[in-house]
Amino acid sequence: MTIAQNIPDPDALLCDVNAFAKPVIISLVGAGGKTSTLFWLARLFCRIGRRVLITTTTQMYMPDPACPVTLCRDPTQLPAHLFQSSLMACFAGWNAAHNKVRGFSPEIIDRLIAQQDLDVILIEADGARGFALKAPAEHEPCIPQSSRCVIGVTGGGLFDKPVGPDNVHRWAQFAAITGLGAGERLDLTAMRRLIQHPLGLFKGTPPGCRRVWFINRGSQYENHQQTLRDMLEADEVDAIWQGAVQETPPITRRVVR
């Protein structure tokens, strides 16, 4: 078991993502910072020379204008030369009124692994409507089966605070999984149930996939490092990140077996 701080290398962050054939599909699920984490990872991979494609299996906000965007029915039919830039995004449609883009089915994204001109495909595979925590509904998340890493994001700001339908998305599912009632304080025992449960944060993760739990803005978790290490020893996750994705550095602590 190791604890490292200020890790800049995405291969190390993601438990040696280099071990997989290219392109590597990384899916992000959960709530409380998925989109920010996705774009931070995209920039990180680009800085080390990787060719990165961003897309979604649900809906997400339109990327920054600095990121080239292609709209199409099926990205597997696009000419290979379009994927040769260091960073681009591809979506099926755009809702201008909400500035949100619509993505592709997991099955279409699975077919993108034949696109050898890409190194990394980053997928926003879940929706949370701006909440910091959620449990998935029956139809969620939408994870491509070719994913090699799933990052489960949780907003840390609700730790040790009362939770309920006003601050947790899919509250009925969350309460059933964690055992919490509305108004009860969120503790690490409840969060561990969300991680462990087959219908919880990592629901639908393909077999053999790396599972990374990112606690975003969760400084209160600093006092529970032994429990986090126990979770890794029990094979509940493969790595745990702690930090704040919109700060520098985004990851301040990483726990890995």
2's tokens: 């190791």
Q: What is the mean pLDDT of the chain?
A: 90
Tens of pLDDT, residues 98-123: 999 999 999 999 998 887 688 899 99
Please tell me what DSSP assigns to residue 51: -
Q: Are the beta carbons of 140 and 56 closer than 8 angstroms? A: no
Q: What residue ranges do the domains of the chain occupy? A: 2-256
pLDDT at 218 over 90: no
Strand, helix or coil at 28?
Answer: strand
- Is the pTM higher than 0.85? The answer reads yes
Contacts of 146 (CB under 8 A, 6+ apart): 25, 109, 110, 113, 206
pLDDT for position 117: 82
- What is the fold, at CATH topology level, of the domain defined by 2-256? Rossmann fold (3.40.50)
